[in-house]
Amino acid sequence: MNTVYILWLRQLKKYLRSTPRIIGSLGQPLLFLLVFGFGFGSIFAKAGEGSYIQFLVPGIVAMAVIFTAIFGGIELIWDRQFGFLKETMVAPVSRFNIMLGRTIGGATVSVIQGIAVLIISFFVGFKMHNPLMIFPALVFMFLTAFFFTALGTSIASRLMDMQAFPIIMNFLVMPLFFLSGSIFPLENAPKALQILSKVDPLTYGIDGLRYVFEGVSSLNPWADLVYLLGFSIIVFLVGRFLFERMEA
């Protein structure tokens, strides 16, 4: 497990030393928060749904988490091209520990991004119904980050071209984000969208965050936790399979 800790610490140090990366990763979530939150707020209120900022923040926090997590896969391609990955893989440690350390490290960094967005959201009017619920919120954020970090690693394990990765990720991640109930309520959505949302892992992460932040949810929060944990384990095992067969 020493390898897991070292790789986790490396991911964390790399993140904390990169101020442009920290600021840049906050750009898109904050744009969505401000433009959507204030732009559609009056329409949402007139529809009798209350404060759109309150509804939107869990989705925007998840956005900060997933985009930081998924692009952690690019680091795998980068390390592969510049030799660090080969140095790691020739060490007398299992590839399972290598992937686990990278995944936990990427998830930790993503949770920090999510916390930063959450803190900023308090300044634009968001309120948690119970501040102590921040602890279960961290659990949902971490599981969401773990899932998408493992997903990014799985895809990056099969790619050699760094430029192809963002294209594939945008093709995959944006539909998952919009189908998760992050931007609009799913209760009155067309039946087809509701069905698609049920197979979207992010749906359970956002619904869980909405429950711990606001005390309301569309699904059972315990079911959210179980489904999200299940999806995370499955995608990690798939990623492990692909990572162990990857050529450094």
Concatenated DSSP letters for the chain? -HHHHHHHHHHHHHHHT-HHHHHHHHHHHHHHHHHHHHHSHHHHHHTT---HHHHHHHHHHHHHHHHHHHTHHHHHHHHHHHTHHHHHHTSSS-HHHHHHHHHHHHHHHHHHHHHHHHHHHHTTT---S-GGGHHHHHHHHHHHHHHHHHHHHHHHTT---TTHHHHHHHHHHHHHHHTTTSSS-STTS-HHHHHHHHT-HHHHHHHHHHHHHHS--SS-HHHHHHHHHHHHHHHHHHHHHHHHT---
Instruction: State if pTM tops 0.75.
Output: yes
The pLDDT of residue 229 is 95
User: What's the Rg (C-alpha) of the chain?
Assistant: 18
How much is the pLDDT for 138?
95
Domain boundaries, position 204: 2-244
Q: Over 101-148, what HEC string results?
A: HHHHHHHHHHHHHHHHHHHHHHCCCCCCCCHHHHHHHHHHHHHHHHHH
Output the pLDDT for position 172. Answer: 84
Whole-angstrom distance, CA of residue 25 vs CA of residue 116: 10
Please report the pLDDT score of residue 227 as a whole number: 95
> Can you give the pLDDT at residue 86?
65
How many structural domains compose the chain?
Answer: 1
Q: What is the pLDDT along the chain (248 residues), one digit of tens a residue?
A: 576 777 777 777 776 677 666 677 787 888 888 888 787 777 777 666 678 888 899 999 999 999 888 877 777 777 777 666 666 666 667 778 888 888 888 899 899 999 999 999 999 889 998 889 999 999 999 999 999 999 988 888 887 777 777 777 778 888 899 899 888 888 878 888 888 899 999 999 999 999 999 988 888 999 999 999 999 999 999 988 888 777 65
